[in-house]
Every structure is written in structure tokens, then in C-alpha cells.
Chains A and B, each alone.
Chain A
Amino acid sequence: MDAANYLYLSALLFTIGAVGVVVRRNAIVVFMCIELMLNAANLSFVTFSRINGDLNGQVIAFFTMVVAACEVVVGLAIIVTIYRSRRSASVDDASLLKR
């Protein structure tokens, strides 16, 4: 099968994720969209690894997963704390730092 198809899928997933980040207000959903974008990138890395015939891309995909896991831990903790104090998980409400 043509490796380019995986790249098309990856671009599609990335676009869905990006649009989700921009249009959705719920912090959890935004978070899931970010994960989607990260995994779209992972898919690209693995595909390029396959095309080039070396392991660099796959190693980077593992690194990304580790970073994403850490990010989930910190991010979810922040979201939960904000929800507790403000009774809302909308990212637009958390805009107090602008002033």
C-alpha cells in the first residue's frame, strides 16, 4: 500500500484537531483535540520512518508519547483545579491574566 495514504490520514487528523482547538470551548475537548494533533504528528513520523527505512521517526514518536503523557498529567490537574474554583471548564472564562 502507498505510504502517502498514511500521510493524508495524518493531515486529516491534524486538521480536525486544529479546528477543534480553535472552535470548541470546553477545556477537556480542547485537550483531546491537542492529543489528536500530537498523534497525527506521530503517525507522520512513523510513516516517514517506514519510507526512509530507518528508526529515527519511530524513536521520536515514542518521545512524543512520553511528553504527551506528562502533558496530560499536568494539563488535567490544571483543568480540574480551574473547574473546582470557577465551576466551569470553559477556556474563554479563564482570561483574567489579560489585565
Chain B
Amino acid sequence: MISNSLVYLIALPLAGAAILLLAGRRSDKWGHLLATALSASSFFVGLYQLSLMLGRSNEQRPISQKLFEWISVGSFKIDAGLMLDQLSICFVLLITGVGTLIHVYSISYMSHDPDRRRFFAFLNLFIAAMLLLVLGDSYLNLYVGWEGVGLASYLLIGFWNQKPAYATASKKAFVMNRVGDMGLSFAIMIAFATMGTVSFTGVKAAVEHTSTAALTGIGIMLLVAATGKSAQFPLQAWLGDAMAGPTPVSALIHAATMVTAGVYLITRSNFIFDAAPTAQLLVVIVGAVTLMFGALIGTAKDDIKKALAASTMSQIGYMILGAGLGPVGYAFAIMHLLTHGFFKAGMFLGAGSVMHGMNDEVNMRKYGALRKFMPITFATFGLGYLAILGVPPFAGFYSKDMIIETAFNSGGIKGIILGSVTLLGASITAFYMTRVMILTFTGKSRWDDQAHPHESPWLMWLPMAILAIGSVTSGYLLSHGNALVNWLSPLFENHGEHEELLSPIVVSGLALTMVAIGVAIAFLKYSRNQVSDVAPENVSIFTRIARQDLLQDRFNESVFMRPGQVLTKILVRTDDSVIDGAVRTVGRAAMGSGASLRGVQSGFVRSYAALILVGAVALIAAIWVVTQ
């Protein structure tokens, strides 16, 4: 179906960003209100579209809008177009809904910052770019949004770029994202070369006439793109440093929305991965490796935001793994993505609230006993905590258990390995999240002298409370009567039922047992003993490695950065000596011959005359010799 109102979803926040950036300081007084209002109105447009979509039959639900003819060269035509279907509407509501809540939160959180208006302009820019990413009707349109969110992420991570470390963090995120972006551009190029089209519908139709090799290539390149944007192994190292940005940014971009773009990309490209089993297997492996990787890092982090970032990495690992399990997994990946958007954004906002009350201290070893001073933050964070653990009936129970169950039932050895990994990941998640809870909210206080913890103003706790409600209810609502699975099913090929290795009730029991073990270990380790306010030094080699993010930075530095620098130096030196050298030699030869000839120009007329005479005589002599 054709619609002509989709563009407003993007245009509203984009206009906000433009107005705030162009009006400059003049909009300092009202800029944040305008940005919040525009983000909220985009959310309401999304709700309106959802109500329209609910009123249509399954086949009629996807709608599209052609914006303009973008590229037209000979037979090659690409339109800039938007498409809203059952998958994108989930993202639209998540982005604008959580985005608006975080706008509201930021009004208070950033109220002391002189550049609050600029912050809101970037937030609106991000919302617009992310909406373009999920609404684009071709890989090329998606790519525009993909780059847009990368830009917004860069601007917001480096929002306080007066600190060199923060500026470096934003640059690191940008550069690592570019590696992934290369993957996406290669995927688009391969798709265009083999299929002659880059639109989703065109590629979907062309899949059956395309060789498996090309599809595998596209799939692997799309996976590279997803690993970059979603901080998955092996391009995961930027996410921890991205916590340099203001906390609302971490909540919106680096927990709820942008980092899940990779999951969107893989789910959107389901027709490619279903036809390319090798690429699909790689997706599962990346997901499994990352979910363990993130979980292990999370156990060793004392910085509350970095612990949550590691957790995000791990949870997105679950989603990627789910998306790699094929048609049965896509819907569960999206469900986990949505519930994760609620509880992780809520917990990040909670962390921001704690930092707000503790003089921007991020070290959890300097917290403790905050439960009494921040009851609302404790309650909302606690609900998010129960949700991420997967305790029934909270959101994570429905979404994460479904992924674990699907992993177990994916068949054979692969299913048992994947199931065990996801179970173990759930246990480690329980351990590190319990650690965060204990260190932050219970035990004795280990504050600095200047700290005067207090509850945050209502503008901050209201979004946290709404997200906490989402963390409690969203899982039940989305899975009640298989609501989300049925909603999304028209988009995915159905290959029938897999044989069941373990029944759902057994999986849930196993998962809850593993979670209980993780919680119990954390309690034994951190609740019974007094926690030191400095990180202990005499720890095992494993802890030390986990504290250094499993050596990811050192690996990247020694394998890519240093050889890269050496290569650059060699190239610079070659350029200097060979290319510049040749040019300089030519110049020097001309100058040298000029200098030696300059002596002839003495300025004495008589010597010129003598030279002319000699020349004339020589010429005549030469002619005489030749003609004789």
C-alpha cells in the first residue's frame, strides 16, 4: 500500500535538529522543549501508523512511500523510498518511545550543562537517522541512516570532547564502526553486481536465482556490518569506551537502539541468511562468542556504566544468536531486543541517576547503601535487574528463555553447544548483575567525603518508572498468545516445526537454576564480606585479563594498529624519497643549471657583443665546414 505520511516520522526530529543547530544560542531557552516535543510527536505518528496497520489484513500491512528519484543513470534507477512493515513499526515505536522518555530525562540530567541545546539537537538527529535506518526500503537507503546514526553516536560520545580521553573514545567508536560500514557497502556492491537491485523486495525476489556463493558473500559482509554497529566480536572494543558520552546517550544509543541495528539488519535480510547456511552459522558463532565475551568482561568491571555496557554486548550476543537460528529465531531476537530496550535503558538511566546523586562518580566500589537514599532509583533499577536475569514474570524471562529454548532445539551437537553457552551466559549475567546491585545499593557506604546522595528530580525518575513498567510487562504482553511471533510471521519463511530436544518447562527450570547459582555466588562473594573501596590488586590472572576487556585493545593494537603505523611510516618514507625525491631532483637540476648560466649575464654590453660575435663566427664557420 502507498502512504504519504511516513516521511513525517523522520521529518519531525530532523527539523528539530536543524532548527536547534541553526538557531544556535538563541534557542538555548526553549531548544530542549522543542526537541522533546518533536520526538514525542514522532512517537504519536508512529502510534497512529500502528493503529492503521492493526486495522488492515496481514497482506495489506506493509506500506511504502516514494520520496524522490535518487539516482537515475541509464537503466540504473534508485528511488529514495520508505517502507513501514510489521518489523519496522516495532523499531519505530521503540526508537521514538524510549527516545522521548530519554529526552525528558535529559532535560533534567543535562540542566547544568551550558551546551544542553546542542545535546538535544544531536539527540534529535540521532532519532531521525535511526528512523531512516529502519524505514529505508532498500539497502542503500538503510545505509544512509546507518551512517547517520554512526555520526550521531560519534558526536554524542564526544559531547564532552574537551576531555582528550572522551574525544579519543568517540574517534575509536567512529573508526571501528567504519570497518563494519565497509562490510555493508561491500554487501550492497555484491548484491548490485549479482542481482542488479538493492531494494529489499527486489533482493528477496532475486534470491532464488542467485548462486549460494554470492549469497554467502553478501551474508558475511552484512554480518561484518552488524558486528561493527552492534559491538559484536571481533569489532566489539569500542562499546566500553563509548560510555564516555553522557549517560542518556548510553541508554538510548548504546543500549536500546543503535547497537541493535545489527540485529535489525540480519532480521531484515532473513531471506539472504536463510539461503546461505554458512553465513547463518557464522552469525550464530559470533552471537555465542560475544555473549560469553561480554558476560566475562561484565564480571570484572568496577565502572557501573562499563559493567552495563559489557552486559549490553552480551545481551545483543543473545539477539544475534537468536537471529542466526533462522526463521524460528528471528521473532525471539526481536522480542529480546524490545524487552532489552526497556530494561537496559531503564538501568542505564538508573545508573545516570546514581551518578547524578554521587558527583558523577562511576566507580561502584565508591557506592554502597544507596537503597535508603534513592528508593525510586533502587526500585526501578531492581525491576530492570529482575528483568535481565529472566526471573518470571519479568520481561527477560519470556524473551531470553525463548532464545535459550530455540538454541537447544536447533538440532544436534550445535543445539547442545549453543544451548549450554546461552545457559552459562545467563548464569554469568546473573552473577555480574547481582554484583552491580550489591555494590551499588546494599552493604555499607563507601562514599567519598563530598558525596551527598539524594533522589533525582521527578523529570528523571518518571522515565525510569515508565521503563521499569515496560521491563515488568513487555515480555508478557509480547509473548501472550504468541503476539509478536504472529505479528512478524508474514515476514519470515516458515520451515515448519523443529523437533523438540527439551520442553519449554525444562528449559525454564534449567535457566532459573543457572540464574540462581549465579546470584548465589555473587551473594557469597560480595554480600557476606566487606567490599573494599579500591579494586584489590592480588587477583588471579583471569580477573586481570577480564579487567582489561579480555585484552581486546591490546590485540587490536598489536595486530592492526602497530603494523598499520609501520606500514604508514614506510609509505610516507617511500613517498618522501621516491616520488617527492624525483620531483625535487628535477627542480634542483633546473635551478643548478640556471645558477651556473647566470654568470654569463654580467650586464656588460661589450661582453654580450663579444659573445654574439663569437657565436656568429662559430655559426659561419660551421656552415662553411658543412658546405665544403
Residues of A within 8 A of B (CB): 18, 21-23, 25, 30, 91-92, 94-99
Contacts and interface: CB of A to CB of B under 8 A. Distances in A.
Majority DSSP secondary structure for residues of B touching A = helix
Majority DSSP secondary structure for residues of A touching B = helix
A66 B414 CA distance: 110
A22 B610 contact: yes
Given A18-B613, A22-B610, A22-B613, A97 B603 contact: yes
B615 to A, nearest CB: 12
A30 B607 CA distance: 13
A71 B118 CA distance: 79
A21 B603 contact: no
A79 to B, nearest CB: 12
B618 to A, nearest CB: 14
B606 A21 contact: yes
A91 B606 CA distance: 8
B532 interface: no
B36 to A, nearest CB: 74
B613 A96 contact: no
Contacts of B605: 30, 91-92, 94-95
B413 interface: no
A21 B609 contact: yes
Contacts of A95: 602-605
Interface string B591-603: 0000000000111
12 contacts: A18-B613, A21-B613, A22-B610, A30-B605, A30-B606, A91-B605, A95-B603, A95-B604, A95-B605, A97-B603, A98-B603, A99-B603
Contacts of A96: 603
Contact of B604 (A21, A92, A99): A92
Contact of B609 (A22, A25, A94, A99): A22
Contacts of B613: 18, 21-22
B589 to A, nearest CB: 24
A33 to B, nearest CB: 10
Contacts of B604: 91-92, 95
A63 to B, nearest CB: 20
Contacts of A25: 606
Contacts of B609: 21-22
Nearest to A24: B606
Task: Specify which of B602, B606, B613 lies most central, judged by the most chain A CB atoms within 10 Å of its CB.
Answer: B606
Nearest to A94: B605
B602 A98 contact: yes
Given A94-B605, A97-B603, A99-B603, 19 more contacts: A18-B613, A21-B609, A22-B609, A22-B610, A22-B613, A23-B606, A25-B606, A30-B605, A30-B606, A91-B606, A92-B604, A92-B605, A95-B602, A95-B603, A95-B604, A95-B605, A96-B603, A98-B602, A98-B603
Contact of A22 (B602, B603, B606): B606
Nearest to B602: A98
A92 B601 contact: no
A31 B603 CA distance: 18
The 5 closest A-B pairs by CB, nearest first: A98-B603, A95-B603, A91-B605, A22-B610, A21-B609
